[in-house]
Amino acid sequence: KAGVTQTPRYLIKTRGQQVTLSCSPISGHRSVSWYQQTPGQGLQFLFEYFSETQRNKGNFPGRFSGRQFSNSRSEMNVSTLELGDSALYLCASSLRAGTYNEQFFGPGTRLTVL
Amino acid sequence: QQQVKQSPQSLIVQKGGISIINCAYENTAFDYFPWYQQFPGKGPALLIAIRPDVSEKKEGRFTISFNKSAKQFSLHIMDSQPGDSATYFCAASMYSGTGTASKLTFGTGTRLQVTL
């Protein structure tokens, strides 16, 4: 069974640009969560989607947005990029929504903002 | 109140030794405590998890000890091996209603190095 895939794996953008990251969950998984990982702030929750609806949102500015498609694939978008947005963006999928459902992480997309 | 505090930041253990990583939380609504292992270039992978109704859970060489009254939990890696060298994250989440996934609140991570 294929794991969580994220594309692209690496991305370099300049300040002010926007970026879209993609996540394909494990087949059959319907919940997708996004996390930002930085050396300074660690792993922080961005948002979570289930059945194409955002169910939960972390403390990030509105420049960070996402969506989920009917096939459970998810995208996240960051507009007006800032230097501080440089991070590893991780996507995690789980079979169902709700506590105790193991979240499986993808390898991440490394975003560098110059 | 949403924080999970993790220590130590880094740890060096000899092969065969016991690695111990500690975490503490404030929010008593947390009801699921997983530990994740992350190798360079990879996403975190679930190692072991515990719910607050038990005080200990063991899976192979990995054990979680949970102290509900102290709001602390720890990961013990017995017979540590060089292949265990990785960054370990504790996390916590709480039930947020039917149909919603659990947001994981992570500790800051512990970089473990197991030497020969």
pLDDT tens digit string along B9-23?
999 999 999 999 999
CB contact under 8 A, A99 and B46: no
- Contacts A–B by Cβ distance under 8 A: 82
- Say if residues B105 and A35 touch (Cβ distance below 8 Å): no
Residues of A in contact with B49 (CB under 8 A): 100, 102
pLDDT at B1: 56
Nearest to A45 among B43, B51, B103 (CB): B103
Q: With an 8 Å Cβ cutoff, is B42 touching chain A?
A: yes
Q: How far apart are CA A21 and CA A87, in angstroms?
A: 12
Residue range B82-96, pLDDT digits in tens: 999 999 999 998 876
Q: What is the CA radius of gyration of chain A?
A: 13
Dist CA A97 CA A102 (whole Å): 10
CB B25 within 8 A of CB B71: yes
C-alpha closest to that of A23 among A100, A113, A107, A114: A107
Contact B100 A55 (CB under 8 A): yes
For residue range B20-75, what is the model confidence (pLDDT) as tens digits? 999 999 999 888 899 999 999 899 999 999 988 899 999 999 999 999 999 999 99
At residue B43, the pLDDT reads: 94
Instruction: Kindly report, residue by residue over A58-78, the tens digit of the pLDDT.
Output: 999 999 999 999 999 999 999
For residue B99, what pLDDT is reported?
54
Distance between start and end Cα atoms, chain B? 40
Which residues in chain A touch residue B100, judged by CB atoms under 8 angstroms apart? 48, 50, 55-56, 97-98
Confidence at A40, pLDDT banded by 50, 70, 90: confident
A80 token code pair: 């007006």
Return the residue matching tokens 């405590």.
B33
Q: Which residues contact A9 (CB under 8 A, 6 or more apart)?
A: A107, A108, A109, A110
Instruction: Point out which residues pair with B106 in neighbouring strands.
Output: B91
Average pLDDT, chain A: 93
| pLDDT attached to residue A2 | 81
User: Which residues, at least 6 apart from B6, have a Cβ–Cβ distance to it below 8 Å?
Assistant: B21, B22, B23, B89, B90, B107, B108, B109, B110
Answer whether A106's CB lies under 8 Å from A4's CB: yes
For position B29, what pLDDT does the model report?
87
CA distance B12 to chain A (A): 20
- Per-residue pLDDT tens for B97-116? 655 556 899 999 999 999 99
